[in-house]
Amino acid sequence: MFNKILIANRGEIACRVIKTARRMGIRTVAVYSEADANARHVRLADEAVLLGPAAARESYLVADKIIEACKRTGAQAVHPGYGFLSENAAFADALAASGITFIGPPASAIRAMGSKSEAKKLMGNAAVPLTPGYHGDDQTPKLLHQEADQIGYPVLIKAAAGGGGKGMRLVEQSEDFPDALASCKREAASSFGNEHVLIEKYITRPRHIEIQVFADTLGNCVYLFERDCSVQRRHQKVLEEAPAPGMTLERRRQMGEAAVAAAKAVGYVGAGTVEFIANQDGSFYFMEMNTRLQVEHPVTEMITGQDLVEWQLRVAAGQPLPLSQEQLPIRGHALEARIYAEDASKGFLPSTGQLVRLLPPAESLNVRVDTGVEEGDEITPFYDPMIAKLIVWDETRDGALARMRKALADYRVAGVTTNIDFLSRLVSCPAFAGADLDTGLIERQKDFLFPAAQAVPRDALLVATVGELLWEQHAAKLAAKHSGDPWSPWHARDGWRMNLSAARMIGFRDGDKLVEAQVRYRGDQWSITLNGETTQARGRKLDGDAFAVELDDRRLIASVLAVDDKRSIFLNGSTYSLLRDDPLHLVEAGGAQGGGLTAPMPGKVVALLAEAGQKVDKGTPLLILEAMKMEHTITAPAAGVVKAFCYAAGEQVADGAALVEFEGE
């Protein structure tokens, strides 16, 4: 076994690999970019080597720097994680040339599976069932069009070198084919530097079912059953589970054996995944093979009780597979949800910023959290905005669903927008709960999954109001403690006023609506009037930002987290966002009325279109921001003067960052 390995990755997967290596007594070397100098994977590893600037192509993707880091630290093997260099055959070759072990398949197997068309040819020869379609070398548009007509519409055009759902085009009818082909080729050329395409029959209401395979260098190859990854958005996985609902023993054996045949056909070694597309009747076709450990591997670990990273390390060190096919068990049901910093209601727009609060559910035998970040860390625009993977296990699917709902309800994140509420709705939606799965589930259930923005409920507003009052009390106590006269009435926050019947207003903004709570102090309780209705409230601060609240005859436990004027209210498993509308603090205007001068999403400043000091009219373009591969022009909100630009062209900006200092006339 190795004494020391290097992990050529970041985030949760780097942390995941370190955990197993440590348990096995193997020392670990992390690599990092300048943006990740304090990242969790760097803190966990025994040593760490700086690769270069934040951009992956100058750090995590530079094979030479990684090999150099191995030599400097004496690492004997490299675990590539997923993404980055994990499916890069040239990297595997370069490691071999330096005498370093690649913890992954042989370069030849990566190459064989790297092209979807080449892979389909090989699989056809190995008698693995294929999606009907065309995967030939002749790429003349006329021939491709004829092939599509013959397959019958709808068809899917895919980039042969594709991945991550990129380049795929659905074509519903013959006359749309030429345009779709041209656009697929354009995207394929720009994303993968290769415009080779293949055409497949588009399967309606398909399920994505994949098989985990494992092979060693001694000729053994097993399958560790299936994962159902049908719940996708834009062909990207959102929720994964194992085993697949409705799977029969016979079908599992057929799919498992087909996957093993696929692996054997390319001389596979290590962990791999054979992806199939399945019809509702269970018939299935080979789609592609991912020649690496996959994001969703934990669900397989939970139902088999195996550690797949340990298996990878053993196989890479030349040892036999730990278990044979007959020895492999399946127990219970596991679900994984990908927790992302993104705004589901805005087309899953990534969100960046500091994780001011990050409180995952408690881990146990039933709940596992794989993460690369801790409270206080930053989600940057440079990498995938995944915060964590939440994995749950129970004896049955219903049991696992209940665990998932509870764990999502317990998850608390503030500082960035997350998809947690979206995931909660997803696991509660009848179609998912009833295992009525196919890749169109999210689209079909969109009314349930993306409800129109709703007003923050009364209870949350009351809790927020009590939160302000308790916080004032707490601050007043601290101030009194540190002043000469702790009994001065000026420190009291019990509503002491010259005029005893005085009421005060506490205001919040819920979206663009102003909500005002009228508060009267009544001994040790408050009388709060909101929207014409009055509630008697009492509150007591607990640990951290939690407190106990009494609202008339009900008791609740809630938390309110305050960052500047932002308030996140965690109540009964939901998170609500409000802005404190405090007339005393309106001086810092900018964001509120200077509207539009902050970055609407994380991105890069492409060009400044005006000069500092320039007088402009309303609507004058000030700057161009590139985000999510689109350009957004930021214009003057009113006639006025551009005081200064906060960023230069070429700089990255975070979501909500102020871009321009602007003074309206």
- Annotated active-site positions, please? 292
d(CA 450, CA 239): 17
Q: Does 237 bind ligand ADP (CB under 6 A)?
A: yes
Tokens 């599992």, residue?
252
Q: Does 110 bind ligand ADP (CB under 6 A)?
A: no
Q: Does 247 bind ligand ADP (CB under 6 A)?
A: no
Question: Which H or E element spans position 639?
Answer: none
- Pair of tokens at residue 327: 């020895």
Q: Which of residues 378-417 bind ligand ADP (CB under 6 A)?
A: 383-384, 386
Tell me the DSSP string of 429-450. SHHHHTT---TTHHHHTHHHHS
Alpha carbons within 13 angstroms on the beta-carbon side of residue 131 total 28
Tell me the DSSP string of 197-246. EEEEEPPSS-EEEEEEEEE-TTS-EEEEEEEEEEEEETTEEEEEEES-TT
Q: How is the beta sheet containing 284-290 ordered, strand by strand?
A: 284-290, 270-278, 207-215, 221-233, 236-242, 333-340, 386-394, 367-371
Beta bridge partners of 368: 391
Question: Which H or E element spans position 548?
Answer: strand 546-551
Compose the 325-364 pattern: x for residues touching ligand ADP by CB under 6 A, - for all others: ----------------------------------------
Our CB check for ligand ADP shows the closer of 158 and 368 to be: 158
Q: Which of residues 151-210 bind ligand ADP (CB under 6 A)?
A: 156, 158, 162-165, 200, 202-203, 206, 208
Q: How far is the CB of 624 from ligand ADP (least distance, A)?
A: 28
Contacts of 141 (CB under 8 A, 6+ apart): 178, 181
Q: How far is the CB of 508 from ligand ADP (least distance, A)?
A: 36
Q: How far is the CB of 500 from ligand ADP (least distance, A)?
A: 59
Decide if 275 contacts 119 (C-beta within 8 A).
Answer: no
Burial 30-49 (b: 16+ CB within 10 A, else e): bbbbebbeebbbbebbebbb
Q: Does 295 bind ligand ADP (CB under 6 A)?
A: yes
Q: How far is the CB of 164 from ligand ADP (least distance, A)?
A: 4
Q: How many residues bind ligand ADP (CB under 6 A)?
A: 32
Q: Which of residues 117-136 bind ligand ADP (CB under 6 A)?
A: 131
Q: Does 419 bind ligand ADP (CB under 6 A)?
A: no
Please select the residue that binds ligand ADP; options are 5, 6, 8, 11, rule is CB under 6 A.
11
Q: Does 84 bind ligand ADP (CB under 6 A)?
A: yes
Q: Does 256 bind ligand ADP (CB under 6 A)?
A: no
Piece of the chain touching ligand ADP by CB under 6 A; list 135-143, 228-236, 261-269, 514-522:
228-236
d(CA 654, CA 665): 28
Piece of the chain touching ligand ADP by CB under 6 A; list 81-89, 496-504, 552-560, 630-638:
81-89
Q: Does 439 bind ligand ADP (CB under 6 A)?
A: yes
> For ligand ADP, which residue has the nearest CB?
83
Q: Which of residues 458-517 bind ligand ADP (CB under 6 A)?
A: none
Q: Does 275 bind ligand ADP (CB under 6 A)?
A: yes
Please select the residue that binds ligand ADP; options are 22, 24, 63, 82, rule is CB under 6 A.
82
- The closest of 388, 389, 397, 273 to 334, measured between CA atoms, is 397
d(CA 663, CA 665): 7
Pairing of strands 77-79, 221-233: unpaired
Alpha carbons within 13 angstroms on the beta-carbon side of residue 210 total 26
DSSP one-letter code for 50: E
Q: Does 219 bind ligand ADP (CB under 6 A)?
A: no
Q: How far is the CB of 166 from ligand ADP (least distance, A)?
A: 6
Our CB check for ligand ADP shows the closer of 165 and 347 to be: 165
Binding site for ligand ADP (CB under 6 A): 11, 82-84, 131, 156, 158, 162-165, 200, 202-203, 206, 208, 232, 235-237, 275, 277, 287-288, 290, 294-296, 383-384, 386, 439
